[in-house]
C-alpha cells in the first residue's frame, strides 16, 4: 500500500495490492428481473451447443422455473428454429421485447430480427459483441428465474464480453467423444478459470447409440472421455447425451420442448446450486 494512502483508487496511479478492481459488469434493462444466468459454451463448433442450451432450458422450465434464452451466437442462430419460433422481435422507446416459445419461455435471437432468416450477418467482432450486450441492456427480461446464454464456439470476442459484462453464475461446457475435444475443452475451462467463472457441468453429445434391437449402447465416435476430463478439471457433473433420432426429429420440427432430457438432471442440480451474482 502506498504511503499516505487515501483509499481513493480512482485518483491514484499506484499499482498496489490493495487497489480495488473496477467492475465491468453492465446493468440490465431497468425493467428486467433476472435471478441467475448460465452460459453454455464449447471450444469448437458442431458439438451441439445450441441443442444443449435448448434442452437445458426446456428441462428447467419443466421443473417449474421461469426461463429465458439469449441466443448470443449472432452469426449462427439456430435456437428459434428448434422451438418453432418465427415471431419477429418488437420494441419501442421503453426497450426490446422478448418473444415466447410454445411453452412460454422468453427468447431473443438475431434470427428474430431479420426480415429473411437465411440472410447472413456479416459483421465484425465488435459489432457482434455490441449486439449481444444490447440483448442484456436493452431487452426486457420479465421475472426470469434462469437465463441461459447460448454463446458462439471458441474463446473470442463474444464469450469474453459476456464473461466480463454479464453476471454469469456458471457455465456448462459442451463436447463430443473424439480425442481432439480434450484440447478444446481445456481452452474453455482455462478461460472460465481466468475469468473466475465456475464450470458447473460437462455435457458430452453423441456419446453413444442405443441399438434398437438388442438395447446395447455403442460408442460409435470412440470411448467416452467425459468422466476423465471432468475429474481432471474438477467439473462436478457430467451428462452423456445419446445419438437419438427423436432429438433431430423434434429439433427439425420445432418441437424440441417435447424431448424429455432426463440425462441432464445431474448438470441441472449443479445449476440449481450455483450462486447468483
| Distance separating alpha carbons of residues 240 and 263, to the nearest angstrom | 7
Cβ atoms of residues 67 and 106 within 8 Å: yes
Q: Write the pLDDT tens digit of every residue in 98-127.
A: 999 999 999 999 999 987 777 778 778 889
CATH topology of domain 31-273: Rossmann fold (3.40.50)
Band (pLDDT 50/70/90 cuts) for residue 11 is very low
Band (pLDDT 50/70/90 cuts) for residue 15 is low
Band (pLDDT 50/70/90 cuts) for residue 261 is very high
DSSP assignment letter at 227: H
Q: What strand order describes the sheet that includes 95-97? A: 91-92, 95-97, 139-140
**Average pLDDT over every residue of 261-272:** 97
Lowest mean pLDDT across 20-24, 194-198, 217-221, 262-266: 20-24
| Distance separating alpha carbons of residues 35 and 39, to the nearest angstrom | 14
| Distance separating alpha carbons of residues 49 and 119, to the nearest angstrom | 22
Q: Would you list the domain boundaries of the chain?
A: 31-273
* Structural element, H or E, at residue 150: strand 144-150
Amino acid at each position: 500500500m502506498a504511503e499516505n494512502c487515501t483509499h481513493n483508487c480512482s485518483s491514484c496511479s499506484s499499482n498496489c495490492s490493495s487497489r480495488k478492481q473496477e467492475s465491468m459488469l453492465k446493468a440490465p434493462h431497468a425493467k428486467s428481473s433476472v435471478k441467475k444466468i448460465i452460459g453454455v459454451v464449447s471450444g469448437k463448433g458442431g458439438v451441439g451447443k445450441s441443442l444443449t442450451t435448448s434442452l437445458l432450458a426446456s428441462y428447467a422450465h419443466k421443473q417449474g422455473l421461469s426461463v429465458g434464452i439469449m441466443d448470443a451466437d449472432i452469426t449462427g442462430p439456430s435456437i428459434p428454429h428448434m422451438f418453432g419460433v418465427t415471431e419477429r422481435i418488437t420494441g419501442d422507446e421503453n426497450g426490446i421485447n422478448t418473444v415466447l416459445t410454445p411453452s412460454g419461455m422468453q427468447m431473443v435471437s438475431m434470427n428474430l430480427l431479420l426480415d429473411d432468416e437465411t440472410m447472413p450477418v456479416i459483421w465484425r467482432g465488435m459489432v457482434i459483441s455490441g449486439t449481444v450486450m444490447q440483448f442484456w441492456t436493452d431487452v426486457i427480461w420479465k421475472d426470469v428465474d434462469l437465463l441461459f446464454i447460448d454463446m458462439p464456439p471458441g474463446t473470442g470476442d463474444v464469450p469474453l464480453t459476456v464473461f466480463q459484462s454479464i453476471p454469469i453464475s456458471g457455465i456448462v461446457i459442451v463436447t463430443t467423444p473424439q480425442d481432439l475435444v480434450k484440447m478444446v475443452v481445456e481452452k474453455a475451462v482455462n478461460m472460465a478459470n481466468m475469468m473466475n467463472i465456475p464450470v458447473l457441468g460437462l455435457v458430452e453429445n453423441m456419446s453413444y447409440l442405443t441399438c434398437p434391437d438388442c438395447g446395447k449402447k455403442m460408442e460409435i465416435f470412440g470411448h467416452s472421455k467425459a468422466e476423465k476430463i471432468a475429474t481432471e478439471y474438477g467439473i462436478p457433473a457430467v451428462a452423456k447425451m445419446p445419438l437419438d433420432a427423436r432429438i433431430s426429429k423434434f429439433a427439425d420440427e420445432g418441437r424440441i420442448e417435447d424431448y424429455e432430457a432426463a440425462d441432464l438432471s445431474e448438470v441441472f442440480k449443479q445449476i440449481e446450486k450455483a450462486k447468483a451474482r
